[in-house]
Amino acid sequence: MTIKVGDTLPAATFMTSTAEGPAPVTTDDLFKGKTVALFAVPGAFTPTCSAKHLPGFKEHAAEFKAKGVDTIACVSVNDLFVMKAWGKDQGIDGEVLLLADGNGDFTRAVGLDFDGSKFGMGSRSQRYSLIAKDGVVTALNVEEGGEFKVSSADYMLGQL
Calpha distance 121→70 (Å, rounded): 32
> Catalytic one among 40, 49, 69, 98?
49
Helix residue ranges per DSSP H, the chain: 27-31, 47-48, 54-59, 61-66, 80-90, 105-109, 153-159
Q: Is 74 a catalytic residue?
A: no
* Cα–Cα distance measured from residue 85 to residue 89, given in angstroms and rounded to the nearest whole number: 6
* Cα angle: 108, vertex 89, 29; to 5 degrees: 45
- Amino acid identity of 105? D
Other C-beta atoms closer than 10 Å to the C-beta of 11 total: 12
Catalytic residues: 49
